[in-house]
Chain A
Amino acid sequence: MHRRKFLGLLGSAGVGTIAASTAQAAGGKQFEGYPDSFSVLFDSTECIGCRKCEQACNEVNNLDEPEKPFDDKTVLEKKRRTTSDAYTVVNKYEVPGKSEPVYRKIQCNHCMEPACASACFVGAFRKTEMGAVTYDPSVCVGCRYCMIACPFHIPAYEYDKVIEPRVMKCTMCYETRLIKGELPACVEACPKEALLFGKREQLLRLARRKLQTYPESYVQHIYGEEEMGGTNWLYISGTSFENLGMNTDLGNTPAPQYTSGALKLVPGVVALWPLLLGGIYAVSRRKDKIAEQERQESVEQAVAETKEQAKKELEEFKEKAERDKKKEVEKAAQKAREEAQAERKDEEGGSDE
């Protein structure tokens, strides 16, 4: 039996069991990484760059027909990325030291803990139990933060649509095929064994066996096993993943963890700021109050002082007045005396005449 078909069958058998257990899962079970989820393993040593997967994907998703037909190989001369018209693209890479070019298929990697889902503020993305990351256009606002977040540059946007633009990306054929127990369209269309479908655990085991059995043909790494916390689309290759234009510096931290720290601080801010601000307010109020008190005190003192002063002045004035009066009286008496004397003199003088 053809191994791909075998795995495919195994896969579809699994689909049945998983589909049966979704009801259970919906009953409040928390996300734990879905150990039974499905995966696709891409083997770049098998890929011949025929673009059959691109064609199958285009058809199953009813996407616009491309300018150049799918059997036109000149398309491969340019590096392409996923767009709103192509959920998947195959690129050609010239690898130093190899006479034959190497191909790589690009599509959503169906991260185990997707950045896009964590970033979406309406929760439009869902990591299904089957492993596929799906998107619900009926709630999408079109903020495009998911596109900022995706470390693999996958989601695309329908910029040309005015009324109902959508985010566009590979769905692992979740609704079109998986839930019906069928293989993803691209996997089925692949004429080689470049794409294999199955349970993630199983495919990891298979990949490891390949790396062990043909160590000279493979780089000893399964891309997607750990990257960004692990993905459901896995890659093995005969040449370094950098040569295939893949980012090997992503690290193994799942994307949501980068923001959870900042988000965890939020309750702290909400709880502590009011206390802090209230404290500052109280201090500034107290400062104001003290200042006010001091002001009042000084005013009172000033008033008291002026009163004192006034009293003193008044007394002085009284004293002075009294003194003046005395003087005045004395003066008057003196004057009277003088006058009296003068009169007497006059009288005496008059008698002399």
Chain B
Amino acid sequence: MSDQETGKGRSSLGPFHIITGLILLFGVFLTVYRFTQGLGPMTNLSHEYPWGLWIGFDLLCGVALAAGGFVTTAACYIFGLKKYHIAVRPAVLTAMLGYLLVVIALTYDVGRPWRLPYPFVVQSGTTSVLFEVALCVMIYLLTLIAEYSQVAFEWLRMSVARSMVMKVILFLTVLGVILSTMHQSSLGALYLIAPSKMHPLWYSAYIPVYFFVSSIVAGLSMVIVEMSLARRFMRRKMDEAHERGYEDVVLGFGKAAAFVLAGYVSLKVLGLAVENDWGYLVTGFGGLFLIELLGFFALPAYVFAVAARERRVGLVKWTALWAVLGIVLNRINVSLIAYNWNLSVGEHYFPGWMEFGLTIFIVTLGLVLYRYCVTRMPVLYEHPEYTDTH
């Protein structure tokens, strides 16, 4: 039955196929352009802004929004919250694709991508936060691939390999949580070295903690958003258990997000107090800071709490999207607004159209890969031959 359906999906060229096809084609052009013309003509990067949209969005937001993987596996396997089991596979898949795309985006961003393994094989700069980030991201991507391989093995009916992965799943989960804790926070720690270039409202000795805690929010919210989208567009691939468990996941994660967001806001306020940055709140940057903190963190925390208590699934979904936007806003603020805030007007950076183009291409690539996996592999449903996933 499902074969028939996918067959139909492939033969009929829906708007999804046409639009994504065009974007992917455009991506090919951008790729050729990048590797024949260089970063100069393609981007608005400068000597003052060595990091632009591809780091601010593709790397920082990409990694944060892929946190659903470690959050969900931890909830299910370590905290033993079995009702979230149905969310594990979609979350691991999105996390794996997310990290894969982060690495792909980096190959466009760095000057000599073929040297990306150098820090591990040629010479290691162990004093660098970036070294830690690179190491963790690399190992974590491998961990996610291992976690996901379970699904692929079911698909390929490789029972022995599958049961081998099942045996180490707890180990992989713990490893994933450790690595995520480290690199999610280290992404914030990247900016610790440049206090003189960062606006004091966003620069803090606690920035690693802020990044880590907000990544949990990002993970929870993204799982909610993804599951809602999957339910909307991939419903034919969902089995009974997913249909039934969906509300539990949305409401449970919404409630958790409310708590973590509240914790995040308190931490931020505490940070303001400890570092005594109140004075900056009345400036223009202060306005932006307040919009971010109150409008995109405190308010969603409240709405999450209300929506989860009143069991309003729809409201939780929209709030999750809102929280995701908050995370994006925060990462962009840190990397592109707070960074170099004291430069004079003409020196500021705004991404070029090809930078936006490449980011859209990368995101589209992620959607296409997700769709490919979900239509073929047992992600949203249990494989009839392997029902012992608990």
A residues near B, CB below 8 A? 81-84, 115, 117-124, 139-145, 147-149, 151, 153, 155-162, 164-165, 247, 249-251, 255-256, 258-263, 265-266, 269-270, 273-274, 277-278, 280-281, 284-285, 287-288
Distance, CA A345 to CA B224, complexed state (A) = 94
Are A165 and B38 interface neighbours, CB within 8 A? yes
- B178 near A: Cβ within 8 Å? yes
Distance, CA A157 to CA B185, complexed state (A) = 28
For B123, the chain A residues whose CB sits under 8 A away are 122-123, 139
Are A284 and B79 interface neighbours, CB within 8 A? yes
Given B80, B110, B193, which contacts A118 in the complex, CB threshold below 8 Å?
Answer: B193
Given B39, B50, B78, which contacts A277 in the complex, CB threshold below 8 Å?
Answer: B78
For A255, the chain B residues whose CB sits under 8 A away are 193
For B37, the chain A residues whose CB sits under 8 A away are 162
Are B51 and A144 interface neighbours, CB within 8 A? yes
Distance, CA A82 to CA B48, complexed state (A) = 10
Are B48 and A144 interface neighbours, CB within 8 A? no
Q: A118-B127, A122-B119 are in contact. Are A258 and B112 (CB under 8 A)?
A: no
With most chain B CB atoms within 10 A of its CB, the pick from A115, A162, A255, A261 is A162
Q: Is the interface of B mostly helix, strand, loop or mixed?
A: helix
For A263, the chain B residues whose CB sits under 8 A away are 127, 129, 132, 189
With most chain B CB atoms within 10 A of its CB, the pick from A143, A156, A160, A247 is A143
Residue of B nearest to A228 (CB): B196
Are A141 and B127 interface neighbours, CB within 8 A? no
Are B193 and A273 interface neighbours, CB within 8 A? no
Residue of A nearest to B43 (CB): A159
- B271 near A: Cβ within 8 Å? no
For B116, the chain A residues whose CB sits under 8 A away are 141
For B205, the chain A residues whose CB sits under 8 A away are 261
Interface string of B132-165 (1 = CB under 8 A from A): 1010000000000000000000000000000000
Residue of B nearest to A166 (CB): B111
Are A120 and B189 interface neighbours, CB within 8 A? no
Are A115 and B47 interface neighbours, CB within 8 A? no
Are A284 and B80 interface neighbours, CB within 8 A? yes
Interface string of B182-223 (1 = CB under 8 A from A): 100110011111111100000001001000000000000000
For the complex formed, measure the closest distance between the CB of A127 and the CB atoms of chain B, giving whole angstroms: 12
For the complex formed, measure the closest distance between the CB of A277 and the CB atoms of chain B, giving whole angstroms: 5
- B128 near A: Cβ within 8 Å? yes
Given A121, A262, A281, which contacts B125 in the complex, CB threshold below 8 Å?
Answer: A121
For B131, the chain A residues whose CB sits under 8 A away are 121
Given B38, B189, B190, B195, which contacts A161 in the complex, CB threshold below 8 Å?
Answer: B38
For B339, the chain A residues whose CB sits under 8 A away are 148
Q: A142-B112, A263-B129, A281-B78 are in contact. Are A162 and B38 (CB under 8 A)?
A: yes
Residue of B nearest to A159 (CB): B40
27 A-B residue pairings within 8 Å (CB atoms): A119-B130, A122-B119, A122-B122, A123-B123, A123-B124, A140-B111, A140-B115, A141-B118, A141-B119, A142-B115, A143-B110, A145-B50, A145-B130, A148-B194, A149-B194, A159-B38, A160-B38, A162-B36, A162-B38, A165-B38, A250-B196, A255-B193, A256-B127, A266-B182, A277-B174, A281-B170, A287-B80
For the complex formed, measure the closest distance between the CB of B384 and the CB atoms of chain A, giving whole angstroms: 26
For A82, the chain B residues whose CB sits under 8 A away are 47
Given A141, A156, A160, A247, which contacts B112 in the complex, CB threshold below 8 Å?
Answer: A141
Residues of chain B from 15 to 56 with CB closer than 8 A to chain A in the complex = 35-41, 43, 45-48, 50-51
Are B47 and A165 interface neighbours, CB within 8 A? no
Q: A121-B131, A284-B78 are in contact. Are A159 and B39 (CB under 8 A)?
A: yes
- B293 near A: Cβ within 8 Å? no
B residues near A, CB below 8 A? 35-41, 43, 45-48, 50-51, 74, 77-81, 109-113, 115-116, 118-119, 122-125, 127-132, 134, 170, 174, 177-178, 181-182, 185-186, 189-197, 205, 208, 339
Distance, CA A333 to CA B195, complexed state (A) = 111
Residue of B nearest to A116 (CB): B193
Q: A123-B124, A145-B190 are in contact. List 11 more A-B contacts (CB 8 A).
A: A122-B115, A148-B190, A148-B194, A153-B47, A159-B46, A255-B193, A265-B208, A269-B178, A277-B177, A277-B178, A281-B80
For B177, the chain A residues whose CB sits under 8 A away are 273, 277
Are B189 and A273 interface neighbours, CB within 8 A? no
With most chain A CB atoms within 10 A of its CB, the pick from B35, B128, B131 is B128
Are A258 and B80 interface neighbours, CB within 8 A? no
Q: 9 tightest A-B contacts by CB?
A: A142-B111, A284-B80, A144-B50, A159-B40, A121-B131, A147-B50, A160-B40, A123-B125, A162-B38
Are A147 and B80 interface neighbours, CB within 8 A? no
Are A285 and B80 interface neighbours, CB within 8 A? yes
Distance, CA A274 to CA B173, complexed state (A) = 10
Residue of A nearest to B185 (CB): A262
Residue of B nearest to A280 (CB): B78
For the complex formed, measure the closest distance between the CB of B102 and the CB atoms of chain A, giving whole angstroms: 13
For B192, the chain A residues whose CB sits under 8 A away are 258-259, 262
For B132, the chain A residues whose CB sits under 8 A away are 263, 266
Distance, CA A153 to CA B50, complexed state (A) = 11
Residue of B nearest to A284 (CB): B80
Are A259 and B111 interface neighbours, CB within 8 A? no
Distance, CA A143 to CA B45, complexed state (A) = 12
